[in-house]
Amino acid sequence: MNERVVVVDDDVIILKQANMILTEAGFKVTCLKNGMLLMDYIKMNSVDILLLDIRMPEMDGFETILALREWEKDNQHDAVPVIFLTANEDADSEAKGLSLGAMDFIRKPFSSEALKIRVRNFLDLIMLQKDLHREVQKKTAELESLSLHVVHTLAKTIDAKDAYTNGHSERVAEYSKEIARRYGYDEDRQEEIYMMGLLHDVGKIGVPDTVINKPGRLTDEEFDLIKKHPMKGAEILATVSEMPKLVTGARWHHERFDGRGYPDGLKGEDIPEEARIIAVADAYDAMTSHRSYRDIIPQDHVKSELEKGKGSQFDERFAQIMLEMIAEDTEYTMHE
């Protein structure tokens, strides 16, 4: 079945361009000129994804999404995924849009390939989320209730948002599981932390690709957007009631042992133990992965950074286990 895409923009040229590109890509496209027409349309039709212009007369994109969310709430309707169309790069507008529930932004003017790929990727991601939720609903609270295939696919889709990482979530999950094993976790808890590691970055769904893939230094506003991903991830995983601990890895993997982390500034033992383990694994993989501005960091320097972070950034016990794993890796194979 062709997915249903609605495009709302007061610019007729943009509507014609989007209609041609997306129709040729196999989507069922409806074009509307303003938010009021959208509100009339949504009451009678299903929509898989909405592309919504920000700057429109009478009822702008922000007012439209607010009206849409209110109608959905009143009518117990599932939230329609929204991507904003914008011609500017205003960080405040991006922050406001994300806070209102938009998934991302697409810059205008857009290329045909970029538009097709972005819409396809977002629809695939939405389907994976629905699959994950359906998998959990079918089972009980047991760990086996989650389909590893679905979770792996979701993790790969999250990683694909970052052009400079490949397999990050899988590696963090593996490192976390090994640290937990060496620390004394039983097999069930090892599998649990593995799953938490796979989904620790799920909140990056809510961070614009332009920010994640920016090659240079982030502005304060852009870094603030990045720092929202732990809370966004926790919100997403909170719906998986059968595995409440999934939230732990997503929300607290950027907390620091000295209390200077985010989003909650937790300190020491107040940070859940699994999150302290994932924090070490996440930092290690960040240092041993390629970035746009550097190659993989030499192993000796990685060791030095972990040593320096013991007791400040990291729980000393888990940093020490990671250092023992590094010492055994004499050929330096643990990297991207």
pLDDT (tens place) for every residue of the chain, 336 residues total: 588 999 999 999 999 999 999 999 999 999 999 999 999 999 999 999 999 999 898 899 899 999 999 998 999 888 888 998 887 767 777 778 888 878 888 888 888 888 888 888 888 888 877 777 666 656 544 445 455 666 777 787 777 777 666 789 999 999 999 999 999 999 989 999 999 999 999 888 878 888 887 777 888 888 888 899 999 889 888 877 767 888 999 999 999 999 999 999 999 999 999 999 999 999 999 999 987 668 899 999 999 999 999 999 999 999 999 999 999 999 999 998
Q: Where does CATH 1.10.3210.10 sit in the chain?
A: 140-328
pLDDT at residue 140, rounded to an integer: 43
Exposed e or buried b for every residue in 124-153, given b needs 16+ CB within 10 A?
ebbebbebbeebbeeeeeebeebbeebbeb
The answer to whether 8 touches 52, Cβ cutoff 8 Å, is yes
The yes-or-no answer on residue 108 being catalytic is: no
Say whether domain 4-120 belongs to CATH 3.40.1390.10: no
d(CA 24, CA 32) in angstroms, rounded, equals: 18
pLDDT of residue 244: 85
Sequence-distant (≥ 6) Cβ neighbours of residue 185 within 8 angstroms: 193
CA distance 314 to 258: 8
Does this model's pTM top 0.75? My answer is no
Instruction: Domain 140-328: give its CATH code.
Output: 1.10.3210.10
**Annotated active-site residue in 161, 177, 204, 232:** 204
For CATH 3.40.50.2300, list the domain ranges present in the chain.
4-120
State the pLDDT at residue 302: 96
